[in-house]
Amino acid sequence: MSQHETPLFTGLREHANKNPLQFHIPGHKKGQGMDEEFKNFIGTNALSIDLINITPLDDLHHPKGMIKKAQALAAQAFGADHTFFSVQGTSGAIMTMIMSVVSPGDKILVPRNVHKSIMTAIVFSGATPIFIHPEIDAELGISHGITPDSVEKALKQHPDAKAVLVINPTYFGFAADLKGIVDIAHRFNVPVLVDEAHGVLIHFHDHMPLSAMQAGADMAATSVHKLGGSLTGSSILNVKEGLVSPERVQTILSMMTTTSTSYILLASLDAARRRLATEGYTLIEKTIRLANETRAKINEIPNLYCVGEEKLGTSATFDYDPSKLLISVKDLGITGYEAETWLRIRYNIEVELSDLYNILCLITTADHEKDTMILVQALTELAEEKASSKNEEIKSLPVHVPDIPVLALSPRDAFYANTESVLFEESAGRIIAEFVMVYPPGIPIFIPGEIITKENLDYIKENLEAGLPVQGPEDAELKYLKVIKEQVAIR
Ligand X SMILES: Cc1ncc(COP(=O)(O)O)c(C=O)c1O
User: Does 107 engage in binding with ligand X (CB under 6 A)?
Assistant: no
Supply angle C-alpha 217, 223, 166, rounded to 5.
Answer: 35
Min dist CB 326 to ligand X, Å, is 14
User: What's the number of CA atoms in the CB half-sphere (13 Å) around residue 125?
Assistant: 27
Angle between helices 336-347 and 369-388 (to 10 degrees): 120
The region of 89-97, 320-328, 382-390, 449-457 touching ligand X under the rule CB under 6 A is: 89-97
Distance of CA 115 to CAs 137, 390, 407, 465, Å?
A: 18, 38, 17, 23
Which residue is closest to ligand X by CB?
89
Which position among 91, 96, 222, 238 is part of the footprint of ligand X (CB under 6 A)?
Answer: 91
Q: How far apart are CA 316 and CA 296, in angstroms?
A: 24
Give yes or no for a cis peptide into 302 (omega within 30° of 0): no
Q: Does 167 bind ligand X (CB under 6 A)?
A: yes
Binding map of ligand X across residues 132-161, x = CB under 6 A, - = no contact: ------------------------------
Query: Per-residue string for binding with ligand X, 293-332, x by CB under 6 A?
Result: ----------------------------------------
- Please pick, from the candidates 15, 112, 115, 144, the single residue that binds ligand X as defined by CB under 6 A: 115
Dump the DSSP string for 393-431: PPPPPPP--PPPPPB-S-HHHHHHS-EEEEEGGG-TTSB
Scanning 83-91, 134-142, 340-348, 397-405 for contacts with ligand X by CB under 6 A, the matching segment is 83-91
Name the E strands within 240-314: 305-306
Give me the amino acid identity at 86.
Answer: S
Q: What is the 3-state secondary structure (H, E, C) of 189-242?
A: CCCEEEEECCCCCHHHCCCCCCCCCCCCCCEEEECHHHHCCCCCCCEEEEECCC
Closer residue to ligand X (CB): 246 or 440: 440
Ranges within 188-247 binding ligand X (CB under 6 A): 195, 197, 223, 235
Should residue 112 be labelled a site residue for ligand X when binding is judged by CB under 6 A?
Answer: no
- Select the residue interacting with ligand X from 9, 85, 171, 357 (CB under 6 A): 171
Decide whether 197 or 383 has the Cβ nearer to ligand X: 197
Residue 270 interacts with ligand X (CB under 6 A): yes or no? no
SS3 22: coil
Does 441 engage in binding with ligand X (CB under 6 A)? yes
Does position 338 bind ligand X by CB under 6 A? no
- Give CA–CA dist 105/120, Å, rounded: 15
Point out which residues bind ligand X (CB under 6 A).
Answer: 89-91, 94, 115, 117, 167, 171, 195, 197, 223, 235, 440-442
